[in-house]
């Protein structure tokens, strides 16, 4: 294949943002690669779709082959041309990208350390040496003058790998052995290794094709782990491994045969039980086993049922269970260990219509609830005997969340707090006296930074159907709100994952240049409770897209910005959001950043061999059902690209992405470029070494963030230093 590369020359950056800022336009660049057209007819329910770029899809076998076949060569050539075009089209911002990267990484404390937590006689923490991209994983015995033990040297382990991802780490009950997982491909398939912490030597045992976690039985020699289907990457089997034996001898103790479920294994906080969990969007099921008897019989807490979700925690003679049984916003129940099925569940915290129970934590003297109401998170402390109370916070938009609390007997509650203007804090509160102690605050390494220099606000936009949708926004004091003010609108809006109002030091590079940053808390998340999620999925998915558009319109109507200066950004399922709003309201944005976007929804959801597909039928719908097929097709970004003007678009992907396969963004890029009727720019960055989460390491990832920011800042004619 040879694409018609750099087909037509044109001036791509003479857009309104540059003109209005009276900035000199960059040199003309080419229109970009034109992908070859190989029509493939895809038929379902008598409906035919023609996909001109279906040829871009490669199997894992093709990608991993020692030498590429003709199709693979065509794909690699096209992706290479897209990357070359990106470099050509953005070469005038190369120095600015480097400046942004330096600016963002200079705010990060280089010799940083996490807050230690205590477990089983040791204090555990991670720390970074100043120049290192990867962490040291350390511990100290809880004895006087104990010396630091470096259990794992991240920089040493990562050496020689273009990608290095550390999975879970777990220490045996006798504190002598460490299990840790590593991914060097970025497909989220981990190898588990074992290290003797007394001698520093690695054991010969290696467990391959795992989900990255190893759970120890109490005998210090048996571990349980989950393996993945090699094609779909679904976590579907749990195995028992005994140290000193080959993986081929491991015993499968559980197999999840329902392809819409995945599974995993962990140990209870009490250390008394091993737990296997099966889960999908609408249902969960848990099994438990005495951790002292790893070869014993697993028992089911409550058999799975459609639309029944539950998560148990063990304490004393009971399981405490968060469940949606007769409780859309979830309630907390408890049940005796000898009678765990639902007919024995008794309320501890009943269901509340306006309060979503998100998490809970058990202590000897207290029950702590993490709740969500009014679109914000709250922490409620409830003594087993006495009056309950809520922790109080003053920011208009913020996130508070429970963190590592391993000790049942403590009076201290550890939690995280952040807001759009407050760097991340880890604190402890004495639950009896309410006395608080700050353990660590994110340090922004910039002498000019102060939270007082920024303002956050919370607004409510009215959606098309009358629903009130929250918007959180932040800007630097002194920023004028007007039709010429640049604004970035961000959201996600799927899987019940809420877009939280949290602090970002990288975002300062936008705020300090006069941008307003806004978060649309749209349906599909759970900001406003379980109904918020239910009203943004399946046959109500379009609410997610119209909410985002309505939030954008609110910001325009209320004088925060205008369509000439408004930008949108989202990633993964948030990239689907970007694709949908681009088709629905392309005129609303001057530029859009779509990171690893899930855009070919019909084709992907109809192909059960693609990773995650079967697991997500209850999120998007199964297109084998015509009602879902028609509905998904009506919004699928790839299927709805049409001949119209589109704004400037930056698309990113990773060749090894296991969550959203690279060919979705690549096909979308090609189709957009073929059909659009404007002179705006479309560029795609395909990282050939990484997957869904981008580059590994704490600094390298900011190079892509610098690309995002330089793209929109350049469109605004702001491609210069803050000092200029």
Q: Rounded CA gap, 352 and 369, in Å?
A: 13
Which of 427, 692, 696, 714 is catalytic? The answer is: 692
Which of 395, 657, 685, 714 is catalytic? The answer is: 657
Give the DSSP H/E element, type plus range, for residue 602: helix 601-605
Radius of gyration of the chain from its Cα atoms, rounded to whole angstroms: 26
| Contact between residue 360 and residue 319 where contact means Cβ atoms under 8 Å apart | no
Q: Rounded CA gap, 301 and 288, in Å?
A: 7
Secondary structure class of 680 (helix, strand, coil): coil
Backbone angles phi, psi at 691, to 5 degrees: -120, -145
Residue ranges with strand state E in 532-636: 566-571, 591-595
Secondary structure class of 558 (helix, strand, coil): coil
Residues in the chain: 724
CB-based burial, 501-538: b 16+ in 10 Å, e otherwise: bbbbbbbbbbbbbbbbbbbbbbbbbbbbbbebbebbbb
Residue 657 designated active-site? yes
Strand partners, 277: 264, 286
How many other C-beta atoms can be found within 10 angstroms of the C-beta atom of residue 81? 19
| Contact between residue 661 and residue 652 where contact means Cβ atoms under 8 Å apart | no
Secondary structure class of 262 (helix, strand, coil): strand
What tokens were used for 680? 């705006």
CB-based burial, 109-145: b 16+ in 10 Å, e otherwise: eeebebebbebeebebbbbbeeebbbbbbbbbeeeee
Q: Rounded CA gap, 360 and 382, in Å?
A: 11
Strand partners, 194: 179
Measured N-to-C along each axis, helices 702-715 and 94-106 cross at an angle, to the nearest 10 degrees, of 120
Pairing state between β 9-10 and 29-30: antiparallel
Instruction: Assign 3-class secondary structure to 280-305.
Output: CCCCEEEEEEECCCCCCCCEECCCCC
Considering only CA atoms, which of 233, 184, 189 is closest in space to residue 212?
189
Which of 211, 278, 505, 572 is catalytic? The answer is: 572
Pairing state between β 425-430 and 436-441: antiparallel
| Contact between residue 418 and residue 406 where contact means Cβ atoms under 8 Å apart | no
Q: Rounded CA gap, 136 and 158, in Å?
A: 11
Q: How far is CA 140 from CA 117, 125, 262, in A?
A: 10, 9, 36
Q: Rounded CA gap, 89 and 27, in Å?
A: 9
Residue in the block written with tokens 């609303």: 588
What amino acid positions are annotated as catalytic residues?
A: 572, 657, 692
């Amino acid at each position: 294949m040879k694409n018609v590369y750099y087909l037509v020359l044109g001036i791509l950056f003479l857009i309104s943002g540059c003109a209005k800022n009276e900035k000199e336009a960059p040199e003309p660049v080419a229109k970009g690669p034109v992908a070859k057209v190989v029509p493939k007819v895809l038929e379902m329910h008598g409906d035919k779709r023609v996909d001109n770029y279906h040829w871009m899809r490669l199997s894992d076998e093709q990608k991993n082959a020692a030498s590429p076949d003709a199709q693979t060569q065509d794909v690699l050539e096209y992706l290479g041309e897209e990357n070359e075009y990106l470099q050509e089209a953005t070469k005038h911002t190369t120095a600015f990208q480097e400046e942004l990267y330096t600016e963002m990484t200079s705010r990060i404390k280089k010799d940083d350390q996490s807050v230690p937590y205590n477990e089983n006689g040791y204090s555990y923490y991670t720390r970074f040496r100043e120049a290192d991209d990867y962490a040291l994983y350390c511990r100290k015995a809880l004895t006087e003058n104990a010396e630091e033990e470096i259990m794992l040297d991240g920089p040493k382990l990562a050496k020689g790998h273009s990608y290095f991802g550390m999975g879970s780490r777990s220490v045996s009950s006798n504190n002598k052995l460490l299990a840790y997982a590593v991914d060097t491909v970025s497909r989220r398939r981990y190898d588990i290794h074992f290290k003797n912490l007394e001698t520093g030597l690695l054991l010969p045992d290696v467990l391959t094709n795992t989900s990255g976690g190893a759970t120890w039985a109490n005998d210090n020699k048996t571990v349980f782990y989950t393996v993945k289907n090699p094609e779909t990457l679904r976590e579907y089997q749990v195995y028992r491994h005994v140290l000193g034996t080959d993986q081929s001898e491991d015993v499968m103790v559980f197999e999840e045969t329902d392809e819409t479920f995945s599974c995993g294994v962990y140990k209870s906080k009490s250390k008394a039980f091993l737990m296997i969990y099966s889960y999908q969007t609408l249902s969960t099921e848990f099994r438990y086993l005495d951790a002292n008897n790893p070869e014993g019989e697993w028992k089911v807490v409550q058999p799975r049922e459609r639309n029944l979700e539950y998560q148990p925690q063990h304490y004393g003679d009971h399981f405490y269970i968060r469940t949606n049984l007769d409780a859309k916003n979830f309630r907390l129940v408890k049940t005796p260990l000898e009678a765990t099925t639902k007919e024995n569940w008794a309320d501890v915290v009943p269901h509340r219509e306006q309060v979503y129970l998100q998490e809970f934590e058990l202590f000897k003297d207290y029950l702590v609830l993490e709740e969500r109401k009014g679109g914000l998170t709250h922490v409620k402390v409830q003594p087993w005997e006495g009056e309950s109370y809520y922790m109080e916070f003053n920011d208009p938009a913020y996130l508070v969340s429970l963190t590592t609390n391993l000790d049942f007997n403590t009076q201290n509650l550890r939690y995280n707090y952040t807001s759009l203007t407050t760097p991340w804090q880890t604190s402890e509160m004495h639950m009896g006296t309410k006395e608080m102690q700050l353990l660590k605050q994110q340090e922004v390494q910039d002498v000019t930074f102060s939270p007082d220099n920024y303002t956050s606000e919370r607004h409510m936009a009215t959606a098309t159907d009358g629903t009130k949708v929250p918007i959180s926004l932040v800007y630097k004091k002194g920023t004028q709100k007007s039709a010429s003010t640049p604004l970035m609108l961000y959201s996600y809006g799927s899987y019940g994952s809420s877009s939280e109002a949290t602090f970002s030091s990288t975002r300062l590079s936008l705020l300090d240049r006069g941008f307003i940053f806004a978060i649309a808390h749209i349906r599909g998340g759970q900001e406003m409770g379980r109904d918020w999620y239910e009203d943004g999925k399946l046959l109500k998915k379009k609410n997610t897209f119209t909410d985002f558009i309505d939030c954008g319109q609110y910001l325009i109507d209320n004088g925060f910005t205008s369509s000439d200066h408004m930008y949108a950004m989202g990633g993964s399922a948030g990239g689907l959001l970007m694709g949908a709003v681009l088709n629905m309201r392309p005129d609303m944005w001057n530029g859009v950043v779509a990171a690893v976007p899930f855009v070919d929804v019909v084709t992907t959801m109809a192909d059960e061999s693609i990773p995650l597909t079967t697991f997500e039928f209850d999120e998007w719908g199964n297109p084998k059902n015509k009602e879902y097929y028609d509905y998904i097709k009506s919004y699928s970004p790839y299927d709805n690209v049409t001949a119209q003007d589109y704004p400037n678009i930056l698309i990113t992907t990773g060749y090894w992405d296991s969550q959203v396969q690279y060919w979705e963004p690549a096909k979308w890029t090609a189709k957009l470029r073929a059909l659009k009727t404007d002179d705006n720019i479309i560029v795609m960055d395909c990282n050939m070494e990484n997957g869904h989460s981008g580059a590994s390491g704490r600094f390298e990832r900011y190079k892509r963030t610098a690309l995002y920011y330089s793209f929109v800042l350049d469109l605004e004619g702001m491609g210069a230093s803050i000092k200029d």
